Amino acid sequence: MWLERHRFQTRVQVDAREGLTNRNGQRRRSNKVHKWAIMTKGLGAYWYSPFREPRAALSQLRRRPCAWLIMTAEGGRPLTNFGDELSALALTELCGRPVKWASLRRAEIFAIGSILERYAKASATGLILGSGLRGEKSAPSNIDRRNVLAVRGPLTRRALSLPENIPLGDPGLVVRSAYATEKRIRKGTLVIPHYTVYASVSGRWILRRLRAEGMTVLPPSVAPKRVLACIAGARHVATSSLHGLVVSDGLGTPATLIEFGISNEPHFKYRDYLLSLGVDDEMVVAVDQFMEDATRKTLEDHANHRKSRIAGRVDDIVSDLYKASAPLRN
């Protein structure tokens, strides 16, 4: 069960009397009904979700209709991204409170995703726990540093002129402490493309080739728990999605960052995250090279080495995020 240990319950005794007499004219006995009520206050959190934001949905459907149709046909959910949707699970783990999506202006907390430009544009006032920027040039100047509990990486921290003692880390790494993987048998190569790969004919052709090579291709719009299970059960993950890399690192699955040559996602956010791990020399591989058997074996060995190299830092980041989220547990 997910995160049941964080729920706070109290027993409420209700003395219910349904009437003075029954059908036979006899006095009814007083019945004591015991109910369990969960008294935990919910937490309103924002994450990018076109499914819940009409304007974002319209934009996505205008720009990439084929991508969403194909991902949905392959088992994905309409207009959602597993990494963003993981916010609810990660925040519940960190804060011990049930989490629900809230709009930019109503949200109490902002966590996973490159959403700080949206935060600033909406003049949001919620707390920030591990969010990042999309680029240095787009860094806003109207974010109140008193609302910042943690940011994703050092590039975001520097761009926002935040003090050096602000903790770093993507909250998606918290899956390490929330999802048991010890007893899983890992096998096969799992490919998690950025959703924009599905928007181009060449991208979809490459995905078909990867499947023909015996690899599993998982659309990034599937439910978070399914993605966690697939990553936890994979021997090696190849991904062009930052969320895919973060969750792989959190679950201790060897991962390789691949490039399809299609997405125009900013390199800033990838480097921001990698630098939070102390990695300044990440290997990014063209997908054509990855499909070569000999190269793929070398990359898998490199990914295993990378996993060992960052394991301690991931533990430190998760610990820092738990400490940073303390105000949300009160």
Domain boundary assignment for the chain: 43-174+319-329, 175-316
**Residue 31: exposure state from Cβ atoms within 10 A (0-12, 13-18, ≥19):** exposed
SS3 of 89, please? helix
Using an 8 Å Cβ cutoff, are 107 and 88 in contact?
no
Distance of alpha carbon 39 from alpha carbon 23, whole angstroms: 38
Distance of alpha carbon 111 from alpha carbon 47, whole angstroms: 7
Sheet holding 148-151, edge to edge: 99-101, 43-46, 109-110, 127-131, 148-151
Full-model pTM: 0.87
| pLDDT for residue 182 | 60
| pLDDT for residue 27 | 39
What tens-digit pLDDT sequence spans the chain (330 residues)? 333 333 333 222 223 333 334 444 443 443 333 332 344 689 999 999 999 999 999 999 999 999 999 999 999 999 999 999 999 999 999 999 999 999 999 999 999 999 999 999 999 999 999 999 999 999 999 999 999 999 999 999 999 999 999 999 999 999 987 776 666 788 999 999 999 999 999 999 999 999 999 999 999 999 999 999 999 999 999 999 999 999 999 999 999 999 998 878 899 999 999 999 999 988 899 999 999 999 999 999 999 999 999 999 999 999 999 999 999 986
* Tally of CA atoms within 13 A in the half-sphere of 184 that contains its CB: 18
Distance of alpha carbon 316 from alpha carbon 173, whole angstroms: 11
SS3 of 32, please? strand
Using an 8 Å Cβ cutoff, are 165 and 85 in contact?
no
| pLDDT for residue 39 | 46
Q: Which own/partner contact pairs does 34-38 have at CB distance under 8 Å and 24+ positions apart?
A: 35/11, 36/9, 36/11, 36/12, 37/9, 37/10, 37/11, 37/12, 38/7, 38/8, 38/9
| pLDDT for residue 183 | 65
| pLDDT for residue 19 | 39
Residue 120 CB: number of other CB atoms within 10 A?
18
Sheet holding 189-192, edge to edge: 216-217, 189-192, 236-239, 255-259, 284-286
Strand duo 255-259 + 31-38: pairing = unpaired
CATH superfamily, domain at 175-316: Glycogen Phosphorylase B; (3.40.50.2000)
**Residue 243: exposure state from Cβ atoms within 10 A (0-12, 13-18, ≥19):** buried
Which residues contact residue 325 at a Cβ distance below 8 angstroms, ignoring those fewer than 6 apart?
91, 94, 95, 129, 149
SS3 of 143, please? coil
Distance between first and last Cα of the chain: 23
Distance of alpha carbon 237 from alpha carbon 230, whole angstroms: 10
CA 142 to chain centre: 26
| pLDDT for residue 288 | 93
